[in-house]
């Protein structure tokens, strides 16, 4: 079946603009995660959605970052007033209900803030 898809694959934006990144998880996966990978760094957890529970937002670096998940499926990560340090690859992953830890990742969105 189809894997996790993300759009756009690349995004170049000017500092101060808002951006929206989209994630379509694997059908039937109830858990959805956002991570980001800055240059030379490992993956950094941002936010986690599980079913109808309140999301775990503990990884969001500032209040300029927000995410929502509509209908338990598609998720959108929004970054307001982008800064150059927001440049990174943003990765989305999904998994089945716990206790499955096998997260399936999308190809990522490469965000460049100029």
Partner 1 sequence: DQQVKQNSPSLSVQEGRISILNCDYTNSMFDYFLWYKKYPAEGPTFLISISSIKDKNEDGRFTVFLNKSAKHLSLHIVPSQPGDSAVYFCAASALGTSYGKLTFGQGTILTVHP
Q: Applying CB under 8 A, which residues contact partner 1?
A: 4, 31, 33, 35, 40-45, 48, 50, 56, 59, 91, 93, 95, 98-108
Which CB atom, from 42 or from 71, has the smaller least distance to partner 1? 42
Which CB atom, from 20 or from 104, has the smaller least distance to partner 1? 104
Nearest approach in angstroms of CB 13 to partner 1 is 20
H/E/C letters for each residue in the chain?
A: CCCCEEECCEEEECCCCCEEEEEECCCCCCEEEEEEECCCCCEEEEEEEECCCCCECCCCCCCCEEEEECCCCCEEEEECCCCHHHCEEEEEEEECCCCCCCCEECCCEEEEEC
Which CB atom, from 14 or from 39, has the smaller least distance to partner 1? 39
Nearest approach in angstroms of CB 24 to partner 1 is 13
CA–CA dist 21, 35 (Å, integer): 12
Nearest approach in angstroms of CB 42 to partner 1 is 4
Which CB atom, from 55 or from 80, has the smaller least distance to partner 1? 55
């Amino acid at each position: 079946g189809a894997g996790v898809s993300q759009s756009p694959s690349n995004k170049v934006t000017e500092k101060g603009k808002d951006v929206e990144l989209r994630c379509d998880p694997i059908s039937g996966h109830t858990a959805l995660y956002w991570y980001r990978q800055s240059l030379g760094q490992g993956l950094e957890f941002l936010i986690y959605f599980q079913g109808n529970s309140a999301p775990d937002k503990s990884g969001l670096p500032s209040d300029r970052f927000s995410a929502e998940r509509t209908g338990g499926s598609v998720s959108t990560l929004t970054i307001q007033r982008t800064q150059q340090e927001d440049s990174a690859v943003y990765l989305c992953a999904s998994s089945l209900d716990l206790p499955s830890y096998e997260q399936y990742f999308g190809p990522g969105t490469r965000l460049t803030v100029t």
